[in-house]
Structure 1
C-alpha cells in the first residue's frame, strides 16, 4: 500500500509540473507572437500626396506679393491648402473689375512659379471672397488654430469654386 501511495504522490506532483511547463511554453509562444505583431513596421502614407483628411493651410505671402506686383492687380491674398492655391484679387482700376482668362492665367502662372509644388490655382475677384481671404490670412499669420478655420474655409471654397475638390 505504501508503494501505491508513493506512486500516487509522485504522479500528483508530476502532473502539475508537466502541465505547468506546457502552459508556460504556451504563454511564451503567445508572447513571441505578440512581439511579432508589435514589431510589424508601419508605413505612413506618402506625404507628397495629400488626402482629404489633411488640413494643411498656409498663407503664401511671397506669391501674394508677386501677384499684387502685376499691373492688372491692385491687391492679392493667397492661401495654399495642400497643393492648391486660392487667390483673392482686387483688380487694378484700368480693368474695371473684369477678370479675363489672360489675366487669370497670368495670376495662376505667377503663383505656380513661386511654388512649383502647387498643382491647382483658383482665382476670384468676388468681394465676399476677397474680404474673407484677407480675414483668413490674418488669422493664419497670427497663429490661430487651423482645424475650425479649415472647415469654414473649405465651405467657402466649395461655394465660390464648385469645381474645386
Structure 2
C-alpha cells in the first residue's frame, strides 16, 4: 500500500511538473527580429506633433528646446502660394499666432486687402489653433521676416526674435 501511495505521489508531481513546463513554454512570446526603421523613414506619412519630416533627426528644436515648426511653416507657405495672386510667401508660427509676408503677383491687378484676408482665412483653415494672423505685403517687411525665418532655421531661438517680429506688424 505504501508503494502505491509513493507511485501515486510521484505521478502527480510528474504531471504537475509537465503541465507547469507546458505553461511556461507556451506563454513565452515568439522571438522576432525588430525591424530597423526610424521615425523619419516610415512608409506611412503619420508624424508625431513634434516631428517634422525634414530628415535632420533633431525634431527641429531650437537651443531653448522649443519646437520652431519649420515643417509646418513650409506647408503653410506652399498652401498660401497656391492662392491666386500670391507669388511668394514667408510664414513664422509662434504658438497660436502666424506672421505672414507675401509677395503679390505684379502682373495682375489685385485688391491687396482682399488678398490678405484670403491668406489669413487659408491659414486658419489649415491650422485651426491659430488665433491671430498678421499679414504684410510690404517688400521690406517681407524681406526682414525672411531673414528672421533664416535665423530660426539656423537654430536661433524664436523667443529671441519674437519682439522684433511683432514690431514689424
What interval of TM-score do these two structures reach, taking the shorter chain for normalisation? Answer: 0.5 to 0.7
**Structure 2: which 5+ runs fail to align?**
1-65
Q: Which residue of 2 aligns with 1:151?
A: 163
Distance 1:105 1:98 in 2: 10
SS of aligned partner of 2:128: coil
- What is the CA distance between 1:98 and its match in structure 2? 5.1
How far does the alpha carbon of each residue in 1:61-81 deviate from its partner, in whole angstroms, 9 at most, with x for none? 211111012221000011112
How far does the alpha carbon of each residue in 1:24-48 deviate from its partner, in whole angstroms, 9 at most, with x for none? xxxxxxxxxxxxxxxxxxxxxxxxx
Q: Which residue of 1 aligns with 2:81?
A: 68
Q: Which residue of 1 aligns with 2:146?
A: 134
The alignment covers a number of residue pairs equal to 102
Q: Which residue of 1 aligns with 2:117?
A: 105
SS of aligned partner of 2:134: strand
Q: Which residue of 2 aligns with 1:6?
A: none
The Cα RMSD (Å) is: 2.2
The 1:104–1:147 alpha-carbon spacing in structure 2 relative to 1, beyond 3 Å, is closer
Distance 1:146 1:86 in 2: 12
Q: Which protein has the bigger helix share?
A: 1
Determine if contact 2:85/2:110 at 8 Å carries over to the other structure. Answer: no
The 1:142–1:96 alpha-carbon spacing in structure 2 relative to 1, beyond 3 Å, is farther
SS of aligned partner of 1:123: strand
TM-score, normalising length: structure 2: 0.53
SS of aligned partner of 2:129: coil
